[in-house]
Structure 1
Amino acid sequence: MNRRHDIDALRVLAFGLLILFHLGMLYVAPADDWKFHLKSSYLAGWLEYPMLASGFWRMDLLFLISGMAVHFLRGRQRLPALAWKRTVRLLLPLLFGIAVVVPIQPYVQGVSNGLVAPGFGTFLLRYWTGGPWPAGAFDGWQYGFTWNHLWYLPYVWLYTMGLLILLPVLESERGQQLLGRCRSVRGIALLVLPSLPLLAYYLLLAARFPINHAVYQDWYAHAGYATVFFYGYVLGTDAGLWRELARLRRHALMLAIGCFAVRYVIDQLGNWVDLSWLPHPVLVTARLWVQALRFMYAWTAIAAVLGWGHQYLNRPFRWLPYAREAVFPWYILHQSVLLAVAYGLLPLRLGPVLEPTLVLLGTVGGCALLHEFAIRRSRWLRPLFGLDARSRVRSLRQPAALPSQAQNA
């Protein structure tokens, strides 16, 4: 199977967007609506809509790409081997991350909240023994520990195991017929139909099961993320669907921009005009259309990213083998590095331009140095960050021969 460079590139860019999003969480206002482990004194209300513009679909895109990985790996491995490979690749970094990488995050949050005494060594010993902690000390205090941004790993593992259980059915004759019908969708249906289940989950589950990223009772999040994960498996490398996404890329982009713009106007109208006088059925219908626009925007944005990416990124960029290997360690590291840098810089009050610039540079620099000089050069550290024990990448200037798509998926 030839390597799909566009999917590799999109995975790298999607995780890069995650770094920018978490940087924005330090500065976006209002703070009560955009809670984060730390908040700068330089809050900006104008950041809210750029944050929403990516926040509606960035995690869905990552889960979709993760679903594609199962498709790629299944082409080379039997189910037990595939289940073991994904378990080691996902849960080993999760456990290591909870114990070693993440603790700086609850520490800086707890100290900033005034509920944890300064002194990281003392905190770490208490953290490793399960607390207990004062109520509200940090996100996840009630469990004694937290996985914070690493919640993505157990969720991907759960959906992977669920999909592997279903694979014998999906790979049966009737299953292949069903997948064939899904893969035959074309035109405007491809830009509309996948958003409808996501809207239905919101209407049926969101109010009853608010997103908590704790696995338990997170049914709304599970429904949406598992569905787009399955979309990724169905999409896989189907040539017809990818050609259609590339053909529809301009339509998808215009629809996404239009849906977001209309939703923005409606939001602003609600802020400027008192609409409470409208009949209740009219208000309910209006809210339904606003949410429909949200999920239509999310899916068409993903379709646009996939279509434009397939058109222009499916080539062997010289930087891509190195970035492909670096992306998982950077994901594991980035939020801890960001918060550690911000914890040191925020009290200095360096201003609304210099402060975020230095936080970003410190985050990127810290991840780059740790990956290049510690993780990728150590055979025992590499598996703890989701990598094979031996690197398949020689250098940026002399990349190794490209392996199959299943490697490092």
Structure 2
Amino acid sequence: METVRRHDIDWLRVITIALLLIYHIAIIFQPWAMFVGFVRSEQPLESLWTPMTMLNVWRIPILFFVSGMGLFFAMRKRNCKQLIGERTRRILVPLVFGIVAIAPLHMFVFQKFYNLPLGYYPHMGHLWFLGNIFVYVLLFLPVFYLLKRGKGERFKQILNKVMSNPFGPLMISIFFMLEAILVRPQIYSLYAETWHGFFLGGLAFFFGYLFVYSGTNFWNTVKKWKWGYLALAVGLYVLRYFEFNLEAPGYLMALESNCWIFGVFGLGYTYLNKPNKYLGYLSQAAYPIYIIHMFVMYLGGLLILPLGIPPFLQFLAITVFTFAVCYVLFEFVIRRIWFLRPLFGLKNEKTANVKSKDISVFRKA
């Protein structure tokens, strides 16, 4: 069983959350932003949609994969009861707090921006991801603990052997392709609070755990064949762009998504699996920043969009504002006030240790 700390998985979590923030900021500059509950610029940047569509088929699935990997590391020193208690504290408590106190904040800003009557109502908003993760933990723990106790040694050997072949990871995509065929999402990248997002996330979470559990062959394979996976992903994206106006049949988008993800895993394993003095801090910050970023981003839109500056400068200004204010709130408020720490998924100061060997959904181990 793997015991060495995986710095690349930490880095991928940090990087994908940063990309998530940028993606959400880019939505502000799309003509349809208001229809998905975002503040909207009157000066659209529709050219941003092209790179966004390259990102949107894998930006959320890769986080579910990483979350499943994180559960593997979290289970190393915990029994089932301990793990459920720890996940409740680190996922369910921030989720409930976020529904009551955080998600309504960006709706206040949304109402203010559009001069709508101000009203409060608890809702999940972007925190739906945490709700899915908590359900997956409860669903898959019995299976994962059976595997941990050595009940699936033969299965592990077969899986490790399959993953030694470059087609092994691609075979996993069959399950994702079947999900798309059976669920038939109207828009593949619409993950939030949909059955498609739930089933897709569950598959990614499950196989993310198995990729770490199975051994090193998966990682050696994606390291060796990373450029091949990325080339296939680019080819599928080009096909989607020219032949399907960016919304290809779901089974093709599922394959494209996994090819991007396997390529990114290969890049991470090749270049990022080494210690870094900033990684511990960034990994700790990623989860709270994910929780608060929508409110901060909307506030940036409220302040910056009315300014008479070109739209690309607005985009840059909102990006800088979002990252800077999120950092200030994390560093000087969330991280330093003891009773706020558990509400944002951080350990108490006495037990916090940024060099812990556990990795999880957003540093929740």
Shift of 1:116: 1.6
| Shift in CA distance, 100/315, structure 1 to aligned 2, threshold 3 Å | same
Task: Report the TM-score, using the length of structure 2 for normalisation.
Answer: 0.90
Look up the match of 2:90: 89
The structural deviation recorded for 1:171 is 4.1
* Aligned 1:112-127 pairs, distance under 5 A: 112-117=113-118, 123=119, 127=120
> Secondary structure at the residue paired with 2:244?
helix
Q: Is the 8 A contact 2:103 2:123 kept in 1?
A: yes
- Report deviation, 1:209: 11
Cα pair distance change 1:362/1:401, threshold 3 Å: closer
Give unmatched runs, 5+ long, in structure 1.
118-122, 128-143, 271-286, 394-399
Tell me how far apart the structure 1 counterparts of residues 191 and 282 of structure 2 sit (CA, whole Å).
31
SS of equivalent to 1:184 = helix
Ranked by relative contact order (alpha carbons within 8 Å, sequence separation 6 or more), the top structure is 2
The code of the aligned residue for 2:30 comes to V
2:358 maps to amino acid:
Q
1:172-211 maps to which residues of 2 (within 5 A)? 175-185=152-162, 186-207=164-185
* Structure 2 residue aligned with 1:252: 229
For residues 40 and 208 of structure 1, what CA distance do their matches in structure 2 show? 26
Instruction: Find the residue that maps to 2:83 and give its secondary structure.
Output: helix
* Distance in 1, Cα, partners of 2:12 & 2:270: 12
Report the AA paired with residue 110 of structure 1. Q
For the residue of structure 1 that corresponds to 2:122, the secondary structure is: coil
How far apart are the structure 2 equivalents of 1:105 and 1:29? 19
- Does the aligned pair in 2 maintain the 1:73–1:82 contact within 8 Å? yes
> Given the alignment of the two structures, is residue 158 of structure 1 paired with residue 135 of structure 2, yes or no?
yes
Q: Secondary structure at the match of 2:29?
A: coil
In structure 2, the residue matched to 1:3 is: 5
CA–CA distance in structure 1, aligned partners of residues 231 and 64 of structure 2: 24
Match of 1:132 in 2: none
Larger radius of gyration: 1
Determine the structure 1 residue equivalent to 2:54.
Answer: 53
The number of aligned residues is 357
Kindly indicate whether the alpha-carbon contact (under 8 Å) linking 1:205 and 1:219 is maintained by their aligned counterparts in 2: yes
How far, CA to CA, are the matches of 2:299 and 2:54 in structure 1?
A: 27
**Cα distance in structure 2, aligned partners of 1:209 and 1:7:** 28
Letter in 2 for 1:326: A
In the alignment, the residues of structure 1 paired with residue 100 and residue 32 of structure 2 have an alpha-carbon distance, to the nearest angstrom, of 32
SS in 1 for 2:277: coil
Per-residue Cα deviation, 1:33-90 (whole angstroms, up to 9, x for no partner):
x734211112122222211111101110001100011111111110100111011100
Q: Which residue of 2 aligns with 1:41?
A: 42
Unaligned runs of 5+ in 2: none
Instruction: Give me the whole-angstrom Cα distance separating, in 2, the residues matched to 1:401 and 1:384.
Output: 18
Deviations 1:191-215 (A, max 9, x none): 421222212111211359995734x
Which digits, 9 at most, give the CA deviation of each residue in 1:278-325, with x for residues without a partner?
A: xxxxxxxxx9x7433322210010000101100000110111111111
Equivalence for 2:144: 167
CA contact (8 A) 2:185 2:250 kept: no
Q: What's the % identity of the aligned pairs? A: 28
Alpha-carbon offset, residue 361 of structure 1: 1.1
Using the alignment, how far apart are the partners of 2:154 and 2:110 within structure 1?
51
Structure 1 residue 29: Cα displacement = 4.1
Quote the Cα distance in structure 1 between the aligned partners of 2:291 and 2:186: 31
SS in 2 for 1:88: helix
